[in-house]
């Protein structure tokens, strides 16, 4: 299951997404629009869904959340962006990292 989350997800939606991938959910966050895609097997799938919905590539960052431990990671191939000074799969800019974590927290916790 792959969804775009625009407001705090209710328990039923979260349950469906979490069950789909055994507690770990991949997310792609649009830091400008403050929305995210949740679910799916590849970050690129969530990225594509958001791009089709009007997001801009430069605003999208991938990661995931483990709902059993609450741990958020910001590791994804879609984060490799030398043109935006992100030369790693990890999101390197601490300000962007914080924005992503806040959006994930507001929409999925």
Q: Kindly tell me if the per-residue pLDDT of 55 is higher than 80.
A: yes
Distance CA(50)–CA(29), nearest Å, equals 9
Closest CA relative to residue 30, chosen from 51, 9, 13 = 51
How far apart, in whole angstroms, are the C-alpha atoms of residue 16 and residue 47? 20
Confidence of residue 20 (pLDDT cuts 50, 70, 90): low
Give 7's pLDDT tier (boundaries 50, 70, 90): very high
β-partners of residue 29 are 36, 61
């Amino acid at each position: 299951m792959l969804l775009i989350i625009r407001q705090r997800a209710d328990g039923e939606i979260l349950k469906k997404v979490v069950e789909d991938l055994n507690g770990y959910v991949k997310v792609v966050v649009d830091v400008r629009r403050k929305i995210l895609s949740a679910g799916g097997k590849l970050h690129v799938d969530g990225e594509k869904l958001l791009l089709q919905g009007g997001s801009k590539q430069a605003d999208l960052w991938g990661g995931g959340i483990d709902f059993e431990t609450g741990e958020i990671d910001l590791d994804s191939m879609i984060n490799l962006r030398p043109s935006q000074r992100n030369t790693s799969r990890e999101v390197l800019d601490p300000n962007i990292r914080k924005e992503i974590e806040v959006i994930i927290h507001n929409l999925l916790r």
